[in-house]
Structure 1
């Protein structure tokens, strides 16, 4: 059986892992538009530094996902962030907030290791820099077209992992004459997303504060999140600091198309004010990323999505899980992959 998977993010990687674990004869082909894997759980490395500029860590909220990461996958290099997360309000006032005993898991060489280790357990072919622009139904199988006109398939099952708006566009343009299509499009388009502009701020001094991160709990500040990458073992050279600063949704939407240099400078000034350290206004180096579809604000109507599975089309990801968290995407990928494997057994 041939399985096509659009997207090599956390959900796609977990689904591939589950399919090949439960249906080892299935052949999985993964088509990823970017040059990396793990989607919005993204890592960059340069000059001995390593930082996660999307999802910052894996929460231990899901026992099954934690067991997978700590016991079944290669765990060498798996680390936890031990410092607490404090809170701040609309005025920038910082407070300790409530204590929590949750673990914050990541890897020394970046959160993208999660997808890399899942794929390493499979025989899947992962094709990077391959953006799928077209879907068609050929009898009872699926075919795909990429942005360069390349043809892929035919596939007995097709897994679609992009964010809901991108999935809706693919399904809307699909050469697929089926009553389910309009319902899937409507359900996917109803999923709202948070847009986030992220600044990475590097400093040639170590910030001396008692927390790993600050989160804006009342959602009234221009910044939603500030995190210190030096709290992750093996990430930042001694004597340096790297801050991951994520703007809130409203501020990000209003400035999404602005000059990144101006965005980063503004976020540096705001960060200096919240942390109460004027040195932070002038980072030694910076990086930037805009996430138009950063996190789903709500889940999808599962009815249309589940009905499409009878035709061999599976939608998955955090927007299907109904929670914009990395562990939720992994869990949804595992569960979807298991349903795919089970359906293959029925066909045999």
Structure 2
């Protein structure tokens, strides 16, 4: 029996797990996730008192990869899937809104939010997913008791140690799904006596990331606008993105509005550790000016979230990634392909799952 360990339960890990469970049915897969949720930055929250559902990280799934489209619309059930059909408009530093782009593209979520993707992928497998389990140490084990023969080569096993001191493994193969900076931190302290470790650590540490600070703003009235979202195209405004969750069926009660306002990278970095109430107030004021409705400066309920490692702005060098795979250590996620999109993370997870399955 093959044992597979996975660090992180993001979209890429979910897709890889689904492929591996199907392609290697006798594999024993263990997933360790530091948070209480699934799907990484494709995150959803609920406010049951107000009957709200909102995607406050990644906002939707694009239909830019045929394999991902087939996965979510055919392989998995499309029950509960919703499509925000309104277009995305644009604005620049002056805040002037112009008709924009993607009018005919799919912008998919679910009535219960984007985390459904990971929940359905993991739920379709026999993998053991352990939440609130933070991996602290990665260890490459030696010794005959954890060595195996595969494809004519001998490999050592992997173990993981969490912050409570519990040891997981040994695993024949290890997949690592956290953002590049967090993967680099794990590799820096990894007990792995191979030059590949430092090469991969350095490569992951070089991947540039943009921080995003998000405000969620609720209003007890409708906003009548012809768009679902607004994107800042010149990256010169404090706000990078505004979307209307009421455009997704089942997310917001009728007659109400919920804006997800994501600050641009420079603003997010500068204000990341500021008082959240001050950040929310400033972003609400910006939203009111951009959308052109002064009432939006005074939401009646708010939420917020900071994403220090939100969007990769470049990819990783392939050499260290491939060298690590030769030692049964795989990295996966949107940062591996250098495209900070949900469909990119899912597509990379499918690729990695197929590569691991082929090598077993």
Q: TM-score, normalised by structure 1?
A: 0.98
Q: How does 1:256-295 map to 2 (within 5 A)?
A: 256-295=272-311
Inter-CA distance 99–45: structure 2 relative to 1 (3 Å threshold): closer
Paired with 1:304 and 1:39, the residues of 2 have a C-alpha distance of 24
Paired with 2:198 and 2:161, the residues of 1 have a C-alpha distance of 21
Deviation at 1:99, TM superposition (A): 5.4
1:107 aligned residue: 110
Contact 2:87-2:101 within 8 A present in 1 as well = no
Paired with 1:97 and 1:328, the residues of 2 have a C-alpha distance of 23
Paired with 1:135 and 1:6, the residues of 2 have a C-alpha distance of 10
Paired with 2:219 and 2:82, the residues of 1 have a C-alpha distance of 23
Please say if 1:87 is aligned against 2:81: no
Question: What secondary structure, in the 3-state scheme, does the structure 2 residue paired with 1:175 have?
Answer: coil
1:333 aligned residue: 349
Deviation at 1:120, TM superposition (A): 1.3
Q: How does 1:165-176 map to 2 (within 5 A)?
A: 165-176=181-192
Paired with 2:178 and 2:243, the residues of 1 have a C-alpha distance of 26
Please say if 1:152 is aligned against 2:168: yes
Paired with 2:136 and 2:255, the residues of 1 have a C-alpha distance of 46
Deviation at 1:185, TM superposition (A): 1.0
Deviation at 1:22, TM superposition (A): 0.6
1:41 aligned residue: 42
In structure 1, list runs of 5 or more residues that go unmatched: none
2:124 aligned residue: 121
Please say if 1:188 is aligned against 2:204: yes
Paired with 2:346 and 2:102, the residues of 1 have a C-alpha distance of 26
Please say if 1:253 is aligned against 2:253: no
Contact 2:13-2:177 within 8 A present in 1 as well = yes
Paired with 1:208 and 1:198, the residues of 2 have a C-alpha distance of 22
Question: What secondary structure, in the 3-state scheme, does the structure 2 residue paired with 1:96 have?
Answer: strand
1:57 aligned residue: 60
Question: What secondary structure, in the 3-state scheme, does the structure 2 residue paired with 1:291 have?
Answer: strand
Q: TM-score, normalised by structure 2?
A: 0.95
- 1:60-116 deviation line (CA, Å, top 9, x unaligned): 010110011000001110111100100011010001124542111111100000000
Query: What is the aligned counterpart of 2:133 among 130, 134, 137?
Result: 130
Deviation at 1:159, TM superposition (A): 0.3
Contact 2:44-2:115 within 8 A present in 1 as well = yes
Question: What secondary structure, in the 3-state scheme, does the structure 2 residue paired with 1:209 have?
Answer: coil
Deviation at 1:276, TM superposition (A): 1.0
2:71 aligned residue: 68
Question: What secondary structure, in the 3-state scheme, does the structure 2 residue paired with 1:122 have?
Answer: coil
Deviation at 1:311, TM superposition (A): 0.9
- 1:214-253 deviation line (CA, Å, top 9, x unaligned): 0011111100000000000111011110000000000000
2:323 aligned residue: 307
Paired with 1:294 and 1:99, the residues of 2 have a C-alpha distance of 22
Paired with 2:273 and 2:300, the residues of 1 have a C-alpha distance of 24
Count of aligned pairs between the two proteins = 344
Contact 2:86-2:103 within 8 A present in 1 as well = no
2:22 aligned residue: 21
Question: What secondary structure, in the 3-state scheme, does the structure 2 residue paired with 1:97 have?
Answer: strand
